[in-house]
């Protein structure tokens, strides 16, 4: 059974992108095929949470080879998308030191609960739960439509 949503998404205006791709590029280093975050609908500095999105399409690099005839977004890319949202929260709310990069240090308690076909917009939720000098832990979730398809802890390490 999925956990309750980390953020009350009924309060999010999904018609308005608060932080676009150009602003994300100023913070996150990912480019080209590995830009897994297209925008952020909401960033809450007070509770260190964000709601972002990744639009998928038939042109995505993984479609051709990840289950031909029934393409599905790979789970590792869903986790990467969540990690990139965590990185944005970390770099803009928690540690704004220029030049800091937040890399994956681990994933815990991950559950894949559904599929993400091409054409679906993946809604991502991240909420920083714990931070120390050399690590941050964020709770994350992803939705396709109104269904939770991913949840887990993303552990990041600044370097």
Is the full-model pTM beyond 0.85?
yes
30 vs 84: CA distance, rounded Å = 8
- C-beta of residue 125 within 8 angstroms of C-beta of residue 158: no
Provide the pLDDT confidence category of residue 133 given band limits of 50, 70 and 90: confident
Question: What is the strand order of the sheet 147-158 is part of?
Answer: 39-44, 49-55, 121-132, 135-144, 147-158, 102-112
Q: Is 66 a catalytic residue?
A: yes
Q: Which of 93, 75, 66 is nearest to 151 (CA)?
A: 75
State pLDDT tens for residues 40-82: 999 999 999 999 999 999 999 999 999 999 999 999 999 999 9
For residues 6-21, average pLDDT: 97
For residues 29-50, average pLDDT: 97
User: Exactly one of 32, 42, 66, 133 is catalytic; which is it?
Assistant: 66
């Amino acid at each position: 059974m999925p956990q309750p949503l980390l953020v009350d998404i009924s309060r999010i205006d999904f018609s308005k992108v608060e932080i676009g791709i150009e602003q994300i590029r100023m913070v996150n280093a990912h480019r080209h095929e590995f830009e897994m975050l297209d925008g952020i609908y909401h960033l809450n500095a007070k509770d260190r949470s964000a709601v972002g999105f990744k639009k998928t399409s038939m042109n995505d690099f993984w479609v051709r080879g990840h289950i031909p005839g029934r393409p599905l977004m790979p789970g590792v890319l869903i986790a990467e998308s969540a990690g990139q949202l965590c990185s944005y929260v970390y770099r803009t709310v928690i540690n704004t030191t220029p030049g800091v990069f937040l890399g994956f240090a681990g994933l815990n308690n991950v559950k894949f609960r559904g599929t993400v076909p091409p054409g679906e917009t993946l809604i991502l939720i991240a909420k920083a739960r714990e931070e120390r000098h050399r690590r941050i832990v964020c709770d994350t979730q992803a939705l396709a439509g109104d269904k939770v398809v991913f949840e887990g802890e993303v552990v990041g390490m600044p370097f």
